[in-house]
Structure 1
Amino acid sequence: MEYHRPVLLQESVDALGIKPEGTYVDVTFGGGGHSAEILSRLTTGKLYSFDQDRDAEEQAKKITHPGFTFVKANFRDLKKYLRLYKVKEIDGLLADLGVSSHQFNVPERGFSTRFDGPLDMRMDPQAGITAREVVETYPEEQLHRIFGIYGEVKNARTLARLLVEQRGRRAIETIGDFKQAISSCTPRGKENKYLAQVFQALRIEVNDELKALEEMLEQAAELLKPGGRLAVISYHSLEDRLVKNFIAKGKFFGEVEKDLFGNEIKPLEAVSRKPITPSEEELLQNSRSRSAKLRVAGKK
């Protein structure tokens, strides 16, 4: 089985307009597919690839390109780590915000609804809280908010109430326990879609994904040279909205700010108005790519 098939590979790397001697960052190394493609286009250039996952770190050891550096860190610490390598500006940055298929296929990571395993879902298995702790300890109101906002779950309030009731009766330690606990409010015939939304909500909370994305985008805009490129692949509306707003307005909420002369103050300019989506061919080869949207921006 393939470790991870990169989504929108050519499209996203083409969007960076790689200069052979340039400095690039892949903030989501994963299985290394995008990084390998970037490196194939560099001569004296440098690529810094971030990932906080142990498995990704193992994959990175297979890369022998002299311009490659793997950084085991969360991408929200982008500037801090690049500073360690004396990198003050970059020509391009790529982010693929999907969970790698490898992570989905390892039951003990707890990302997939297909297997039984511990309720974990941490991108960095050494850090932070697990999904089990969220499920077992968060108050009902907080669970309602997470499922409603991060999972866009329609019966989020009922789900939160049920979960609090069920955990009072027995421990919810595994994915199997969790699915059983919420089975009475899981819609018949739509189990997979519903569970995917619920799992997405827990994963976003456990890894603080949206806040981390905001912090990374703001740092990316600062680091990019004028004319530098940002390419971001997102898989659900929450992430895509943040990326779209930041490119369009230089902020995540509200209207774009203007200077005294009425000029818009924003660091980036969208390269294409609409996001790039996978081709028919890619959709046939990789069903996980179906919700992918690539947005590309240039630094002014």
Structure 2
Amino acid sequence: MAGRGGSDSDAAGGPARHLPVLLEEVVDHLALVDGGLYVDGTFGAGGYTRAILDAADTRVIAIDRDPNAIRDGQELVASSAGRLRLVHERFSRLDEVVEAEGLGMADGVVLDIGVSSMQIDEGERGFSFRRDGPLDMRMSSEGPSAADLVGKLSDTELANLIYRFGEERQSRNIARAIVAARAEIPITRTLQLADIIAKVVWAKPHEPHPATRTFQALRIAVNDELGELARALEAAERVLKPGGRLVVVTFHSLEDRIVKNFLSNRAKASAGSRHMPALAGPAPSFKLVARGVVDAGEEELRRNPRARSAKLRAAERSGAPAHPTGDLDRLLPPLPVADARSRR
């Protein structure tokens, strides 16, 4: 999966080399056991899946919403001696996938969040602000595209979206520029949009491309990435057996905040005080096995600079029932007031 940031970034990610980030740390925190069943919710190029299959006598159910990833993964399926099942689906439905496969509950779930290197490399997918292509950004080629959002949203709606999902301080200026440009000609190409943004947001040579945050915001919105992540965490909670491990690798603060809040909530017991007894509530469904975040080491950073923004969090499933669903809103970042004055 592609990391974010860096002056040579592409589609909010460094130049992709199909190198799985924090691979050793992921395998270590999954605590693989022979005969165990593991779910790779973000198959991508198959790096984590291959490592899980190689490290122990495991079975893997791998999931990806991108049909190209499913197509390209068939060689690994064929070489797995029946230990790998590759499923075209959203990872937010991973519990339904596992149930449909009829292999029992999982010993581990790994999620690597973000856009994959293959998607960035293919200009026609519309993720890249350095490669010209249709302004698409849909991982599954379904639903509204980035061009639809850019062409239809009001300047206020665009500013809110760019501020919320891109954390872009110039969101209002960018939104105004987009609305003014589309009044002259429809915005349908990636480089067309990148050029519009570059005229509004100035970046020094060592800083990320001016369009980085806006492209990230559009991609997240098009694919409902944060909502998918929140639902996937709940699905993992339902599918993991007691003692099973959840390992999540994120690349920017919005994703990491959701994972942190989810695990903190699920690992917390209802607390009372001397004056008030503990309130009745769900028992902790996870215990943290990685305190805080795990970052890439110096050797990996030398080998793969895009790993610098990667953060790993891990937890182990308890024997308590899964918490009630339906509280996703508290996991998602609140919509900020993006029409506050933008500052250079």
Rounded to whole Å, the distance in 2 between the matches of 1:204 and 1:18 is 32
Match of 1:41 in 2: 55
The TM-score normalised by the length of structure 2 is: 0.81
- Whichever residue aligns with residue 12 of structure 1, its letter is V
Match of 1:135 in 2: 150
Post-superposition shift, 1:14?
A: 1.2
Match of 2:254 in 1: 238
Structure 1 segment 143-222 matched on structure 2, within 5 A: 143-189=158-204, 192-222=208-238
CA-based RMSD of the aligned residues comes to: 2.1
Match of 2:290 in 1: 272
Match of 1:291 in 2: 309
2:108·2:246 contact (CA, 8 Å) conserved in 1?
yes
Rounded to whole Å, the distance in 1 between the matches of 2:105 and 2:83 is 16
Q: Is 1:57 aligned to 2:70, yes or no?
A: yes
1:153·1:194 contact (CA, 8 Å) conserved in 2?
no
- Whichever residue aligns with residue 209 of structure 1, its letter is E
2:203·2:210 contact (CA, 8 Å) conserved in 1?
no
Post-superposition shift, 1:163?
A: 1.2
The TM-score normalised by the length of structure 1 is: 0.92
Q: What secondary structure sits across from 1:298 in the alignment?
A: strand
Structure with higher RCO (Cα < 8 A, 6+ apart): 2
Cα displacement string for residues 169-212 of structure 1 (whole angstroms, at most 9, x for unaligned residues): 11111012112223331114267343111111011001000000
Q: What secondary structure sits across from 1:154 in the alignment?
A: coil
Post-superposition shift, 1:42?
A: 3.4
Cα displacement string for residues 93-143 of structure 1 (whole angstroms, at most 9, x for unaligned residues): 001113222221111111122211111111112x11111111111122221
**Matched-pair identity in %:** 37
Rounded to whole Å, the distance in 1 between the matches of 2:154 and 2:246 is 38
Cα displacement string for residues 46-76 of structure 1 (whole angstroms, at most 9, x for unaligned residues): 2100001122112311112121100111101
Q: Which 5+ residue runs of structure 2 have no aligned equivalent? A: 1-14, 319-344
Rounded to whole Å, the distance in 2 between the matches of 1:183 and 1:114 is 12
1:129·1:206 contact (CA, 8 Å) conserved in 2?
yes
CA distance change for structure 1 residues 172 and 269 in 2, over 3 Å: closer, same or farther?
Answer: same
Cα displacement string for residues 201-259 of structure 1 (whole angstroms, at most 9, x for unaligned residues): 011001000000000001101111111100000000000000011011139xxx97569
Rounded to whole Å, the distance in 2 between the matches of 1:31 and 1:90 is 22
CA distance change for structure 1 residues 249 and 83 in 2, over 3 Å: closer, same or farther?
Answer: same
How many residues align structurally? 295
Q: Which 5+ residue runs of structure 1 have no aligned equivalent? A: none
1:49·1:71 contact (CA, 8 Å) conserved in 2?
yes
CA distance change for structure 1 residues 26 and 268 in 2, over 3 Å: closer, same or farther?
Answer: same
Rounded to whole Å, the distance in 2 between the matches of 1:2 and 1:237 is 20
